């Protein structure tokens, strides 16, 4: 590594931060990562107890090509580091009336579903390049003759309808399919009743690229990224929280002073800073007060925070054959659930429950004859004055699974029970109000309102990760890391 090459500090070792760090180091930059927690990975993390292991956040991988391309950019073969396993059933959906739908290849081929997918494909064709694969400010690069035929899909994108309104037009006679497709709004922490129809692209992406598991657990992605970073010479310091930034002499040029990172015990001066901290909590911490105040009044005070999550990690001392690897147990009243989350700022009385059981694919992740359950329900972002007894709420979730969905003996067979609350998301990851993805994608301008990589008034400072462009989810934060690295290196981002 060239001792005269620019130095970069990365605040936070989430997937966005690690992706960016690896690419910058690969390009010869001298990179140092500061992570406040004891382990890297951010929300993609790991828990183990009594022979059980759990991925603490993400449980399903989509768009695996994003990681394939990252590995290619790093001059490596993904298969040498990770094994991606396709899931024959991406998710099993259940209702209290006993109905079951498996999201598998046959499901996507159903004529009614195929018609919806045809519509959603138009959204994808028009918007994937502009919104997923390029920085928002570079959308104009998409305006060229090659893309003109795609413009016929523009009315679908610019529609004032919500996801739910369009889903109803396709599946008006079938409340189960409406609920199933509405559910994709929660992939970015939003309500289907307020999210613009353009986000119906999400189920298309799942149908097109499938659902995947990573052998050994999704945390293997974080482990692999950490290993690669270290091989490339990235210094990774855990248990170091960056409290504030100070400009300091000694930067790239006299007109561009460098940054000193306060609170880390590190005396280095860095030419550039990449911030993987949640944008909403990072603004007041790292940006000039006037810029932070403007952000408060133009964004924070006006836009809905994305939802948070409440998680139970259960070690279950028996096996339930009716479960697939990923399962959704729907509530009877979806509109009420989102009203309670977004308007009343409280957990839903009857929540939709997601249960992932990775030991179905990877028996080593639980003792013999047992299962490692990851149980997730949507939770409200933390509101002032609210106080929730999450342990009691957890009891209600277990009771609901027993009583309404036939999991007899579940409570009695639980050997390990741990929980993670919105307050934990706030304190562990500095996620403002415990929100998982920054702002919800509510309103027609949602996609354009995500905070940009480069905040105003800050030179050589970049945001990366789920609360900036293009959004939350492992592939998107990996794309975010790639785009920010390209920006810093002066390269044009884009995928073919």
Ligand X SMILES: Cc1cc2nc3c(=O)[nH]c(=O)nc-3n(C[C@H](O)[C@H](O)[C@H](O)COP(=O)(O)OP(=O)(O)OC[C@H]3O[C@@H](n4cnc5c(N)ncnc54)[C@H](O)[C@@H]3O)c2cc1C
Selected range binding ligand X among 52-60, 77-85, 121-129, 313-321, rule: CB under 6 A: 52-60
Residue 242 as a binder of ligand X (CB under 6 A): the answer is yes
Residue 277 as a binder of ligand X (CB under 6 A): the answer is yes
Taking the complex as a whole, the smallest distance from the CB of residue 64 to ligand X amounts, in Å, to 11
As a three-state string, the secondary structure of the chain is: CCCCCCEEEEECCEHHHHHHHHHHHHCCCEEEEECCCCCCECCCCEEEECCEEEECCCCCECCCHHHHHHHHHCCCCHHHHCCEEECCCCEEEECCCCCEEEECHHHHHCHHHHHHHHHHHHHHHHHHHHHHCCCHHHHHHHCCHHHHHHHHHHHHHCCCCEHHHHHHHHHCCCHHHHHHHHHHHHHHCCCCCCCEHHHHHHHHHHHHHCCEEECCCCHHHHHHHHHHHHHCCCEEECCCCCCEEEEEEEEEECCEEEEEEECCCCCCEECEEEECCCHHHHHHHHCCHHHHHHHHHHHHCCCCECCEEEEEEEEECCCCCCCCCEEEECCCCHHHHHHHHHCCCCCCCCCCEEEEEHHHCCHHHCCCCCEEEEEEEEECCCCCCCCCCHHHHHHHHHHHHHHHHCCCCHHHHEEEEEEECHHHHHHHHCCHHHCCCCECCCCCCHHHHCCCCCCCCCCCEEECCCCCCCCCCHHHHHHHHHHHHHHHCCCCCCCC
Residue 60 as a binder of ligand X (CB under 6 A): the answer is yes
Selected range binding ligand X among 38-46, 91-99, 150-158, 295-303, rule: CB under 6 A: 38-46
Residue 138 as a binder of ligand X (CB under 6 A): the answer is no
Residue 276 as a binder of ligand X (CB under 6 A): the answer is yes
Considering the complex, state which of residue 131 and residue 171 has its C-beta at the smaller distance from ligand X.
131
Considering the complex, state which of residue 113 and residue 306 has its C-beta at the smaller distance from ligand X.
306
Selected range binding ligand X among 113-121, 201-209, 377-385, 465-473, rule: CB under 6 A: 465-473
Question: Contacting ligand X (CB under 6 A), which of 26, 43, 150, 260?
Answer: 43
Residue 16 as a binder of ligand X (CB under 6 A): the answer is yes
Question: Contacting ligand X (CB under 6 A), which of 22, 26, 32, 34?
Answer: 34
Span 441-460, contacts to ligand X by CB under 6 A: none
Taking the complex as a whole, the smallest distance from the CB of residue 472 to ligand X amounts, in Å, to 4
Closest CA to 245 of 297, 279, 203, 285: 285
Residue 477 as a binder of ligand X (CB under 6 A): the answer is yes
Residue 400 as a binder of ligand X (CB under 6 A): the answer is no
- Residue 345 has which token pair? 């700022």
Residue 465 as a binder of ligand X (CB under 6 A): the answer is yes
Question: Contacting ligand X (CB under 6 A), which of 67, 131, 429, 439?
Answer: 429
What span, in angstroms and rounded, lies between the C-alpha atoms of 101 and 130? 33
Residue 257 as a binder of ligand X (CB under 6 A): the answer is no
Q: Which string of x and - marks every residue 353-382 that binds ligand X (by CB under 6 A)?
A: -----------------------x------
Question: Contacting ligand X (CB under 6 A), which of 466, 483, 484, 487?
Answer: 466
Considering the complex, state which of residue 60 and residue 433 has its C-beta at the smaller distance from ligand X.
60
Selected range binding ligand X among 98-106, 292-300, 365-373, 468-476, rule: CB under 6 A: 468-476
Considering the complex, state which of residue 82 and residue 477 has its C-beta at the smaller distance from ligand X.
477
Considering the complex, state which of residue 6 and residue 58 has its C-beta at the smaller distance from ligand X.
58
Span 63-102, contacts to ligand X by CB under 6 A: none
Task: Count residues binding ligand X (CB under 6 A).
Answer: 34
Residue 210 as a binder of ligand X (CB under 6 A): the answer is no
Positions touching ligand X (CB under 6 A) are 11-17, 34-37, 42-44, 57-60, 241-242, 276-277, 309, 311, 376, 429-430, 436, 465-466, 472-474, 477
């Amino acid at each position: 590594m060239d001792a005269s090459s620019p130095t970069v500090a990365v605040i936070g070792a989430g997937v966005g931060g690690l992706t960016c760090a690896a690419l910058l180091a690969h390009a010869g930059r001298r990179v140092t990562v500061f992570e406040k927690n004891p382990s890297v990975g951010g929300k993609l993390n790991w828990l183990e107890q009594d022979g059980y292991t759990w991925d603490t956040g993400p449980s399903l991988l989509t768009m695996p090509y994003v990681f394939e391309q990252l590995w290619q950019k790093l001059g490596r073969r993904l298969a040498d580091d990770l094994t991606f396993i396709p899931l024959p059933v991406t998710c099993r959906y259940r209702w209290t009336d006993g109905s079951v739908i498996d999201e598998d290849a046959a499901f996507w081929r159903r004529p009614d579903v195929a018609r919806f997918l045809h519509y959603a494909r138009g959204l994808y064709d028009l918007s994937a390049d502009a919104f997923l694969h390029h920085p928002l400010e570079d959308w104009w690069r998409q305006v060229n003759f090659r893309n003109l035929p795609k413009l016929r899909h523009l009315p679908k994108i610019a529609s004032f309808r919500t996801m739910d309104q369009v889903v109803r037009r396709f599946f008006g006679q079938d409340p189960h399919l409406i609920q199933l497709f509405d559910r994709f709004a929660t992939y970015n922490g939003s309500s289907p009743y307020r999210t613009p129809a353009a986000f119906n692209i999400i189920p298309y992406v799942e149908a097109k690229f499938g659902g995947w598991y990573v052998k050994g657990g999704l945390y293997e992605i974080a482990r692999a990224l950490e290993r690669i970073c270290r091989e490339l010479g990235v210094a990774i310091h855990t248990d170091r929280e960056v409290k504030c930034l100070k400009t300091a002499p000694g930067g790239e040029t006299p007109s561009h002073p460098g940054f000193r990172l306060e609170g880390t015990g590190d005396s280095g001066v860095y030419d550039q800073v990449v911030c993987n901290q949640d944008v909403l909590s990072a603004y007041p911490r790292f940006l000039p007060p006037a810029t932070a105040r403007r952000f408060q009044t133009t964004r924070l005070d006006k836009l809905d925070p994305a939802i948070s999550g409440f998680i139970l990690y259960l070690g279950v001392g028996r096996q339930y054959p009716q479960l697939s690897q990923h399962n959704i147990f729907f509530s009877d009243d979806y509109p009420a659930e989102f009203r309670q989350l977004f308007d009343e700022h409280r957990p839903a009385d009857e929540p939709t429950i997601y249960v992932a059981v990775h030991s179905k694919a990877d028996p080593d992740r639980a003792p013999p004859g047992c299962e490692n359950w990851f149980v997730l329900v949507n939770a409200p972002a933390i509101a002032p004055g609210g106080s929730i007894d999450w342990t009691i709420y957890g009891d209600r979730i277990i009771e609901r699974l027993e009583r309404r969905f036939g999991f007899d003996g579940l409570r009695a067979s639980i050997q390990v029970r741990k929980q993670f609350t919105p307050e934990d998301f706030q304190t562990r990851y500095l996620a403002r109000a415990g929100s998982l993805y920054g702002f919800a994608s509510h309103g027609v301008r949602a996609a354009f309102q995500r905070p940009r990589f480069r905040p105003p008034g800050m030179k050589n400072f970049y945001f990366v990760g789920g609360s900036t462009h293009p959004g939350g989810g492992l592939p998107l934060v990996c794309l975010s890391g790639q785009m920010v690295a390209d920006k810093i290196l002066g390269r044009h981002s884009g995928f073919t």
